[in-house]
Structure 1
Amino acid sequence: MSQREFSSFRAEGVAAGRRRAKEGERQDWSVNVARRIMHVDMDAFYASVEQADRPEFKGKPVIVGGARRGVVSAASYEARRFGVHSAMPVFQAKRLCPGGIFLPVRMGRYKEVSKVVMDILCGISPLVEQISIDEAFVDITGTEALHGSPESLGRRVKSQIRAATRVTCSVGIAPGKFVAKIASDIHKPDGLTIVEDDRVEAFLAPLPVERIPGIGKKTSEALRSLGVRAIGDVLRFPASFWVKRLGAWGVKLHERARGVDPAPVIAYSQAKSCSAEDTFPEDVDDVETLEKWLFVQSEEVGKELRRESFRGRTVTLKVKFADFSSITRSHTLREATDCTQLIFGTASRLLRALKLNRKVRLVGVGVSNLSAMPEQKPVFSDSMLVRQRKLDRAMDRIHERFGHGALRRGRVLGFESPADEEGDP
């Protein structure tokens, strides 16, 4: 999933999470009840939705992604046989799979299907933690009297999702989130894997140690130098051994190898940032063109913040060059904002301070250091900021009712961007 897509998804997830939080999801389970966490992961989600909506694509290599210079957002299992995978550049996917069916991202449609899936999950437990548009954790601890065994519940969830969306999912059920997520991936697509408490270590033992979250390339190399290639190899050494070498991380490594993961399923967590970025059809070396992209992105980020009643203090500019090197620059404002013009103005100043001497492949803007901010009456009703905020809200209402292309600001009049295509059939 691209940053643009996820930032759009996240805003709706935050709103849904806030609603669920008000309904009182948290429950104090008895310590005597065996913990059961379900991880539901949709199979090749975007590509599967396209195949469901267009039966003529069933069984064919479907690749969902951006323009020629973009990246693959999803690949059907038929396309994966050619080596195509998500985050791969589209031009590379076309070389690997010349007969592939390349389709644009229809984010609006995927969000519709995602909502159906999440509604089904919320119907079985009040504790649903949506971690992306196509996956979620569900705490099903102590629900056997209501839903039957974990296996029967897992099968029923899979059946309900497939009936409602015509898309399959894979389900993993285990005592903790970490193991449940691994379990859902074992028998993809359309899999169901249940790991009982007394089988956790045996389940994890043969898997590559890189399956443990937080193990990057350097840590992997260090572990392999000790002969640790599988998760089970970690347990050949006592916890004290790992603490001496890795400190606090050594404790976590040893716990994960045993399958210990007490992390709760959290139905709502506040967004930490929101951002948008775009890879260009052609490399760009013109600052004015880059600023037009930044303005479109600033408008998208500002709209998301306003929709969720968030404001942020830190504006970050991201620039990736033609040689794939990248830099970021940030500036923290005195007061939190959701104003498009202020976000753009800050990002633009950061851009011009770079004094670019290379062509640019990608640019993005983000706002972080967020806080929930209720609407406040301005002290100075005729201030420029107040007028800008009124303009922002008027634009938001028009775009929501008539689409993004219904009204454009003068700065980007005639400028085409991916936002103009979002939601197209």
Structure 2
Amino acid sequence: MTQSLSPIRALCRDCGTRPPQGSARCPRCGSPRLVSHPELDLLSIAHIDCDAFYASIEKRDNPDLQDVPLIVGGGQRGVVSTCCYIARIYGVRSAMPMFKALEACPQAVVIKPNMEKYAKVGKEIRERMRALTPLVEPLSIDEAFLDLTGTERLHKATPAETLAGFVRDLETDIGISASVGLAPNKFLAKLASDLEKPRGFSVIGAAEAKAVLAAMPVGRIWGVGKVFQKKLEKDGIRLIGQLQEMEAADLARRYGSIGLRLARLSHGDDSREVTPSRGAKSVSSETTFRTDISSFETLRPILRNLSEKVSARLKKSELSGRGITLKLKTAEFRTITRARHLQDPTQLADKIFAAGEDLLQAEADGRRFRLIGIGVSDLEPADRADPQDLIDPSAERRKNAERAVDKLRDKFGKSAVELGLIHAARDSRRRDDG
């Protein structure tokens, strides 16, 4: 970004005024919500994250809930999907077992998730983001990276001013608040958006990145999950500052390719670009039969086999998804699609198949089909997938069993472990090939 922009580096988030740096309040509207930073007008990579998204929508739609602790969750899973910031004061957190959440905050109101409503609002917010810049990279239903480089002439404003106006309009027009992180790259922007939630607007500049990161735990680095964090802690590495003091070659010897990534990110270096399309919008697999099939019992193992393929592709791509879509094509070449939206994203064949099986059972009414397919959409990073199911203890056992099978297949090949259902699918196809 050019240096010809206004030298004033403070911004009122509530009215857009550019007060002198060092002002405690906006001279125009009196708001104390000012953001001031030496690099404020030089940065253009942002991460926008809606605040307590599901709970905010429910409070917007029911004003009686505005000042009460609200939990969105429960249902079959028995866990908290999200909660408002009032509930968080009492210690309620996402993914917490519902009984623990209600022990911590017994006066909370509990609402079951309405994913269709949330998806509709999320789509509207996404379209507003794309009006700011074509470079929007969604991470989930309520958050995305944006690259506003070169948009000053279009919006007649710096990226910081454009982003402040965007979140103001979200609150006014849609009734949802969001937090913004502004930085020189995606990694730092994502960290910045978490610093002052809710309704935050935080900046991490290039000059200060290393110092800001030094005091943070290693778990704040993108890609460092709980298991790897424990491994690092076992090796005596708890803070990002400790990684900064280590040589990249040493980290690579210890941890392989991820060690090189740790070396770069610990210094705030991230060369990833904001990409409008994060690869495929869905992952799917389908097959066409030589002979039309009408029997549910014959279609079922074939669907299981396809679910295994989709699951393997998701795991390989480090993705998961909430949307499950069954595709059928009748003997008359009519295409039928049926969909289900899961509460949590998954990458497990067991859950993909279970949802697809329910959809198939409703359609297998004697009609003959020449094609069947299964797909997963609404893709999200793999680290969000398949939280523990406290209502169905066997779900965790099935998850662990599937992971064990994956390891055996990685080591000995896919044919090393096959389910009876998949054998049935192969036998059925052999009979069809007759």
Please state which band the TM-score falls in when normalised by the shorter chain. 0.5 to 0.7
* Match runs of 1:382-397 below 5 Å: none
5+ long unaligned stretches in structure 1: 1-32, 280-290, 303-308, 332-345, 354-383, 385-425
Asked if the contact 2:181–2:192 (Cα under 8 Å) also holds between the matched residues in 1, the reply is yes
Residue matched to 2:219:
210
Which residue pairs with 1:263 in the alignment? 272
AA paired with 1:199?
A: E
Relative to structure 2, which stretch is displaced further, 183-192 or 83-92? 83-92
Tell me what 2:181 maps to: 172
Q: In the alignment, which residue of structure 2 is the partner of 1:66? A: 74
Q: 1:123 and 1:260, CA in 2 relative to 1: closer, same or farther beyond 3 A?
A: same
Q: Which residue of 2 aligns with 1:155?
A: 164
Residue 358 (structure 2) aligns with:
296
In structure 2, C-alpha distance between the alignment counterparts of 1:301 and 1:52, rounded to whole Å:
37
- 2:138 maps to 1:76: no
In structure 2, relative to structure 1, the CA distance for the partners of 1:87 and 1:348 (3 Å cut) is farther
1:349-388 to structure 2, matched below 5 A, reads 349=421
8 Å contact kept, 2:45–2:184: yes
Contact 1:68–1:91 under 8 Å retained in 2 = no
- CA-to-aligned-CA distance 1:36-68 (integer Å, 9 cap, x gap): 311110000000111111111112111111326
The 1:347–1:189 alpha-carbon spacing in structure 2 relative to 1, beyond 3 Å, is farther
Q: d(CA) in 1 for partners of 2:101 and 2:224?
A: 28
Contact kept? 1:61, 1:100, Cα under 8 Å: yes
Structure 2 vs 1, CA of residues 136 and 205 (structure 1 numbering), >3 Å: closer, same or farther?
same
The answer for the alignment partner of 1:366 in structure 2 is none
Q: Tell me by how many angstroms 1:228 deviates.
A: 2.7
Cα deviations by residue, 1:278-298 (Å, 9 ceiling, x for unpaired): 79xxxxxxxxxxx99763255
The answer to whether the 8 Å contact 2:71/2:83 transfers is yes
Q: CA deviation at 1:216?
A: 3.0
Name stretches of at least 5 consecutive residues in structure 2 with no aligned partner: 1-40, 284-309, 311-322, 325-339, 344-352, 365-370, 377-385, 407-417, 426-431
Q: Do 1:63 and 1:75's aligned partners in 2 also have CA atoms closer than 8 Å?
A: yes
Answer yes or no: is the 8 Å Cα contact 2:115–2:341 preserved in 1. no
SS in 1 for 2:132: coil
Aligned to 1:130: 138
Q: State the shift of 1:237 in Å.
A: 1.3
Matched, 1:197 2:206: yes
Following the alignment from structure 2 to structure 1, what is the Cα–Cα distance between the partners of residues 375 and 116? 29
Query: For the residues of structure 1 that align with 2:68 and 2:360, how far apart are their CA atoms?
Result: 38
Q: How many residues align?
A: 288
What amino acid sits opposite 2:397 in the alignment? S
Higher radius of gyration, 1 or 2: 2
CA distance in 1, matches of 2:104, 2:169: 35
The amino acid across from 2:184 in the alignment is P
The superposition leaves residues 90-133 of structure 1 with CA deviations (integer Å, 9 ceiling, x where unpaired) of 23322322111011211222122112211211111011111211
Q: TM-score, normalised by structure 2?
A: 0.58
Alpha carbons 1:129, 1:136 under 8 Å: kept: yes
Q: CA deviation at 1:81?
A: 1.8
Give CA-to-partner distance per residue, 1:189-217, whole Å, 9 cap, x none.
00001222222222222211110122234
Task: For 2:223 and 2:192, locate their aligned partners in 1 and report how far apart those are by CA, in whole Å.
Answer: 18
Q: The residue matched to 1:167 in structure 2 has which SS? A: coil
State the match for 2:237 in structure 1. Answer: 228
Q: Which residue of 2 aligns with 1:325?
A: 397
Cα distance, 1:116–1:310 mapped onto 2, change above 3 Å: farther
How far, CA to CA, are the matches of 2:144 and 2:154 in structure 1? 21
- Structure 1 counterpart SS, 2:358: helix
| 1:96 to 2:79 alignment | no
Which secondary structure state, in structure 2, belongs to the residue aligned with residue 229 of structure 1? coil
Q: Secondary structure at the match of 2:72?
A: strand
Task: Check whether the contact 1:294–1:347 (CA below 8 A) recurs between aligned residues.
Answer: no
Partner of 2:429: none
What is the RMSD of the two structures over their aligned residues, measured on CA atoms? 3.8
1:186 aligns to what SS in structure 2? coil
CA gap of 1:350–1:84, structure 2 versus 1, over 3 A, is: farther
Alpha-carbon distance change, 69 to 245 in structure 1, aligned in 2, over 3 angstroms: closer
Q: How far does the alpha carbon of each residue in 1:373-417 deviate from its partner, in whole angstroms, 9 at most, with x for none?
A: xxxxxxxxxxx9xxxxxxxxxxxxxxxxxxxxxxxxxxxxxxxxx
Distance 1:120-1:218 versus aligned 2 partners, 3 A rule? closer
2: CA distance between counterparts of 1:105 and 1:244? Answer: 46
Q: Distance in 2 between matches of 1:208 and 1:301?
A: 51
In structure 2, distance between residues paired with 1:189 and 1:71: 22
CA distance change for structure 1 residues 184 and 295 in 2, over 3 Å: closer, same or farther? same
Match of 2:193 among 178, 184, 192: 184
Q: Contact 1:40–1:170 at 8 Å: present in 2 too? A: yes
